[in-house]
Amino acid sequence: MIFTGPASWAGPFLKSKEDSIMGLNKKSVDDINVKGQRVLCRCDFNVPLKEGVITDNNRLTAALPTIKKLIADGGKVILCSHLGKPKGEPKPELSLAPVAKALTELLGQEVKFAADNEVVGVNAKAAIEAMKDGDVILLENTRYRIEETKNGEAFSKELASICDVFVNDAFGTAHRAHCSNVGVAELVDTAVVGYLMQKEIDFLGNAIDDPVRPFVAILGGAKVADKLNVISNLLDKCDTLIIGGGMAFTFLKAKGYEVGNSLVDNEKVEYCKEMMEKAERLGKKLLLPVDTTIAAGFPNPIDAEIEVSDVASDVIPANMEGLDIGPETAILYAEAVKSAKTVVWNGPMGVFENPILAKGTIAVAKALAETDATTIIGGGDSAAAVNQLGFGDRMTHISTGGGASLEFLEGKELPGVVAANDK
């Protein structure tokens, strides 16, 4: 199940709501009352658009509990977000106007759009000045300003000038120090996290810092290089580490296996040897594919029909490419999940966008859906996979931030979280 409300979302997983990651015990919207105050709330409204129409409302829906709390308090709620990469230029196709319209329908009250290419220009300031308690407005795309991604002081000061309180509910950008999440937080007296951000801190933080054991971590995706520190950090923390996806072939090559034309990062072969030695030294299980689904080449287009076969992972033919874990591996990985109490999964097991090559990812998703363990999906492709495959509502928590969740799993401090007030 997915928890969307503010209260007791983690059940027995957390010892108490006061638990925190890496000593971070942050104030949340539950610790403040914003009646009569101007509240700038940073959300993640980076939604997919097609011809000006939002094709997936999930990020808007996820932000509603925090927005509703601020409205109920009687705050003057000023929402802000980025959308796409306008790179400091006003681009009409990346305007947040469609988001204001969709939020109006979802909230059942008007969300006024402050059309203003300066984001905090004359129009926006006039709209804020006219606000009454409980009103909601949405600012224009923060990345219309070139300073946003550089955490420039001038834009941070402009954002701080329009609010008394800052609420950060955008975990997806928490690993970046931008004006609208870090710069503004450092310039206001009251900076807290929203329900969505708090949930991410609680689930991901406790999975890493204080998991209910056995703790199984599953890593997939294309490249070892993307997850170097994640692999090492998780080996310190978990009981079993499962490797799948394209990154598995660098590990298999490190074992001396023939991997054919499969994706291999030759510069990281030695690293994979070190990680296998580390697992053995720490007494941790590190599971690699025992069989592999292979084809003559990568599907083009990605969802094209493709002829495949399954072979043992140590005898992949020189002219073939591994594109998914095989059926025996799927059973092995599912068995490892059955006995777990906490599972964190980041990265698909194969080219899941192709139905023929999605079997491994489906098997792992199904195993997670059927377990009683706390199951945490680390954003990005993993989140897309479980949602597309219809297992989303059977996971305990699906992270809203791919890059941010990866850095969390590395054990890094996230600037957007650090900037909030401590309790």
Give me the catalytic one of 59, 76, 237, 268. 59
Give 245's contacts (C-beta < 8 A, 6+ positions apart): 219, 220, 221, 222, 347, 348, 349, 350
User: Has 145 been annotated as catalytic?
Assistant: no
User: Has 403 been annotated as catalytic?
Assistant: yes
User: Has 380 been annotated as catalytic?
Assistant: yes
User: Has 59 been annotated as catalytic?
Assistant: yes
β-partners of residue 193 are 28, 168
Backbone angles phi, psi at 3, to 5 degrees: -100, 125
Give me the catalytic one of 75, 205, 347, 380. 380
Task: Give how far Cα 354 sits from Cα of 262, 361, 382, Å.
Answer: 17, 11, 15
Closest C-alpha to 401, from 42, 136, 31 = 42
Give me the catalytic one of 88, 134, 403, 411. 403
Distance CA 392, CA 409 (A): 21
Length of the chain (residues): 423
Residue identified by tokens 């890496």 is 22
Give me the catalytic one of 150, 223, 284, 341. 223
Query: For residues 419 and 182, is the Cβ–Cβ distance under 8 A?
Result: yes
Residue 357, helix vs strand vs coil: helix
Distance CA 242, CA 252 (A): 13
Catalytic residues: 59, 223, 380, 403
